[in-house]
Structure 1
Amino acid sequence: MAYDHEEQEQMASIKAWWSQYGNLLTWALTIVLAGYAAWSGWNYYQRTQSTQASMLYNELQNAVTAKDNARIQRAATDLQDRYVRTAYAQMSALVAAKAAVDANDVPLAKAQLQWIIDKGADTEYKAIARIRLAGVLLDEKAYDAGLALLAGDFPAAFAADVADRKGDLLVAQDKLPEARTAYQLALDKAEQKNPGRQLIQLKLDAIGGAAAKAAA
């Protein structure tokens, strides 16, 4: 009987505890389970989006191989409309911009690059788009617009490319001292194994960079 009495006291204590905290515990458990379900569902959604986007990107690559600009642009638009949060959407815009340039459709190329700048989620792709769009503006002789596009912050890895493109724009404006400074900065920022260093050096030498350095 003593054992039964002790057991009854324990049961009474458990009931009292549950009466006080059971509802709170139930809600907490429900929130945890709901959070886990949402997290699992989001991961599944992300994997599905990435898989579907990769398949569509493969179609775009096939269109590139076929040199079919219309198919390239359609695939890129589909990726941007349906899978905007994936890297494939930004990659497709870069590919589509190049295809548009090759097809002499400069407005479309600019639109593709501007899409990355405005809606891209990755800072690296946005940097590439700004540099390439500045190159398109250089060809259009919109030099100030190109320089404005290169103003502001860029990831450190793009410092050489940004300075090089600035140099091109400044040369086009016949601002040679500023261009020399930009090209020299590009050389300073470029890694020694960067294959573009030789071209930057040639451009610097062509505007008297070597002589300016010797005088200094």
Structure 2
Amino acid sequence: MAYDHAEEEQLASLKAWWNQYGNLVTWLLIIVLAAYAAWAGWGLYQRNQSAQAGQLYEELQKAVTAQDKEKIQRVATDMEEKFSRTAYAQMSGLAAAKSAFDANDFKTAKAQLQWVADKGSDEYKAIAKIRLAGILLDEKAYDEGLKTLAGDFPAEFAGVVSDRKGDIFVAQNKLDEARTAYQAALEKIDAQNPGRQLIQIKLDAIGGASVKKAA
């Protein structure tokens, strides 16, 4: 009987606790389960998005091989609209920009590169900005090109950015600034990089090392 009485007391205590906190516990449980379901659903959504984007990117690669410029732009636009969070969209933007550039459609090339520069991850953003600055250089939009190259870049792109700045400064006939930029590029680019030779040639062509101004 003592055991039964103790059990009844525990049951009564549990009922009293549940009457006071039961609704709160139920709502907390619902929130936790809903959060887990959302997390699991988001993971599945991302995997589906990546798989679909991969299939669409294969279409773009086939269009590149076939040199179907219209399809390249169409697929890239679809990719950017539907799968903008994936790396495939950024790669598609760069591929579409190159196709447009090769076709002398600089407006479309710039638009694609600007999209990647705005939406891409650090590495793709850096590539897009450097290529965009190159088009702006060709269009003699020098200040806009330098503005595109302003700000922070991943360390591995620092030398290429300085080199591109040097090209713009040469076009502006700002040779001291160009020498400084080319020297910075040589300092930042690995000694084994074959591109160093071209930078050195450009530096030598404008008189070599920059002249330090007297204090």
- Fold match, TM over 0.5? yes
Contact 2:116 2:128 in 1 (8 A): yes
**What RMSD over aligned residues (CA atoms) do the two structures have, in Å?**
1.5
**For residue 14 of structure 1, what is the aligned residue in structure 2?**
14
**For residue 29 of structure 2, what is the aligned residue in structure 1?**
29
Contact 2:60 2:71 in 1 (8 A): yes
Q: CA deviation at 1:157?
A: 2.2
Contact 2:179 2:203 in 1 (8 A): yes
TM-score calculated relative to the size of structure 1:
0.93
Paired letter, 2:181: A
Q: CA deviation at 1:212?
A: 5.8
**For residue 125 of structure 1, what is the aligned residue in structure 2?**
124
Paired letter, 1:200: I
Alpha-carbon separation, structure 2, partners of 1:88 and 1:52 = 10
Q: CA deviation at 1:210?
A: 5.2
Deviations 1:125-182 (A, max 9, x none): 1221111110001111111211121122222222111100000001111111110100
Matches within 5 A, 1:1-216: 1-118=1-118, 120-209=119-208
Q: Secondary structure at the match of 1:37?
A: helix
Q: CA deviation at 1:84?
A: 1.2
Q: Where does structure 1 lack aligned partners over 5 or more consecutive residues? A: none
Q: Secondary structure at the match of 2:180?
A: helix
Deviation above 4 Å: which 4+ runs of structure 1? 210-213
Seq. identity, %: 70
Q: Secondary structure at the match of 2:190?
A: coil
Deviations 1:95-121 (A, max 9, x none): 011011111111111111112223x14
Q: Where does structure 2 lack aligned partners over 5 or more consecutive residues? A: none
Q: CA deviation at 1:4?
A: 1.3
Alpha-carbon separation, structure 2, partners of 1:16 and 1:68 = 74
Count the aligned residue pairs.
Answer: 212
Alpha-carbon separation, structure 2, partners of 1:76 and 1:4 = 74
Alpha-carbon separation, structure 2, partners of 1:210 and 1:154 = 25
Paired letter, 2:165: K
